[in-house]
Amino acid sequence: MAKDKVEETKELEWALIPPREVSQVDGVFLEKNMCNNWDKIWNFQAKPDDLLIASYPKAGTTWTQEIVDLIQNNGDIENSRRAPIHLRHPFLEWVRVNSFSGIDEANAMPSPRTLKTHLPIQLLPPSFWEKKCKIIYVARNAKDNMVSYYYFQTMNKGLPDPGSWDEYFETFMSGKVMWGSWFDHVKGWWKKKDSHPILYLFYEEMMKDPKREIRKVMEFLGKNLKEEVLDKIVNNTSFAVMKNNPMTNYINDIEMNHSLSPFMRKGVVGDWKNQFTEDQNKRFNEDYEKHMADTSLSFFEEL
């Protein structure tokens, strides 16, 4: 089939996918199938050698996943291209109708397993704490995170339609988005790191000095790689390389319409300046002060 025809067929298929419904667990908005599957998710049995990558959606999860996978593979690029990222690291709470669930995939996977979640701290299955699993959490400044999430919701049928940017701004600020409030998420995980082995990474620091941050991940995983291997990992996890890597950009995911907005969109710090109005920025800054008054956590909004 001609490329244009393939694209047209994909567009039609995408338009026919019914939007997923949203429900709540303990006041946190989650996709309805996750809520219906909640007992199974909550009772998931983690193992002591599991590694969990946790984040608020669009904080740099996929980037962190690829870094972790390459470190675990001692920088073997071919090995890291063995499968799409979502198959290498089961997405714990994700339920796809008539298909896999993250829990089933995790249960079928041999150890040592690397898993992914966007759950806020209070909803993480307790076995991760009981088994003292290592966790890597990645956080991103709220403004860029919001913009990235907005574009992701426009292109992903697995998530609710975001409406206009102005509408979405209000939705995000109220925390009525999938996986809940950004504020509660980043603060909850930040607090927990004092009592549990959690490596807390920042998207902005990863942009500023990727090699330093990759070295942190390596040390946290108890690995010792040569400088040239670290350099190779830095190169292969750059935005440009990952954008062209079919294994890291969900190119064959039928629920994502990349012509509306690509999964690997801009990959920069400070893109919020192209999206926020002056009024929105003022409103945001006022609300932010209140929400963040009770934490030592701070972010860079530009580099």
Ligand X SMILES: CCc1ccc(OS(=O)(=O)O)cc1
Residue 129 contact, options ligand X, ligand A3P, none, Cβ 5-8 Å cut-off depending on partner type = none
Candidates 33, 37, 62, 171: give the one binding ligand X (CB under 6 A): 62
Q: For residues 144 and 152, is the Cβ–Cβ distance under 8 A? A: no
By CB under 6 A, is residue 63 in contact with ligand A3P? yes
Candidates 37, 61, 114, 236: give the one binding ligand X (CB under 6 A): 61
β-pairing, 28-31 vs 22-25, is antiparallel
Residues binding ligand A3P: what is the number (CB under 6 A)? 20
Judged by CB under 6 A, the chain residues 250 through 279 that form the site for ligand A3P are 264-267, 271
Say how far residue 207 (Cα) sits from the centre of its chain.
16
By CB under 6 A, is residue 94 in contact with ligand X? yes
By CB under 6 A, is residue 139 in contact with ligand A3P? no
Residues with Cβ within 8 Å of residue 14, at least 6 apart in sequence: 157, 254, 255, 257
- CB nearer ligand A3P, residue 28 or residue 85: 85
Q: How far is CA 76 from CA 69, 82, 110, in A?
A: 9, 10, 20
- CB nearer ligand A3P, residue 72 or residue 156: 156
Catalytic site includes residue 196: no
Candidates 148, 156, 171, 236: give the one binding ligand A3P (CB under 6 A): 148
Establish how many alpha carbons lie within 13 A of residue 142's alpha carbon, considering only the half-sphere containing its beta carbon: 23
Residue 94 contact, options ligand X, ligand A3P, none, Cβ 5-8 Å cut-off depending on partner type = ligand X
- CB nearer ligand X, residue 250 or residue 299: 250
By CB under 6 A, is residue 182 in contact with ligand X? no
Q: For 73, phi and psi rounded to 5 degrees?
A: -95, 15
Q: Which residues pair with 24 in a beta bridge?
A: 29
Establish how many alpha carbons lie within 13 A of residue 114's alpha carbon, considering only the half-sphere containing its beta carbon: 21
- In angstroms, the CA 231 to CA 75 distance is 9
Q: How many Å is the maximal CA-CA distance in the chain? A: 57
- In angstroms, the CA 35 to CA 22 distance is 9
- CB nearer ligand X, residue 25 or residue 230: 25
Residue 64 Cβ vs ligand X, minimum distance, rounded to whole Å: 10
Residue 158 contact, options ligand A3P, ligand X, none, Cβ 5-8 Å cut-off depending on partner type = ligand X
CA-derived radius of gyration, the chain: 19
Residue 140 Cβ vs ligand A3P, minimum distance, rounded to whole Å: 8
Binding site for ligand X (CB under 6 A): 57-58, 61-62, 94, 158
Q: Which residues are identified as catalytic?
A: 118
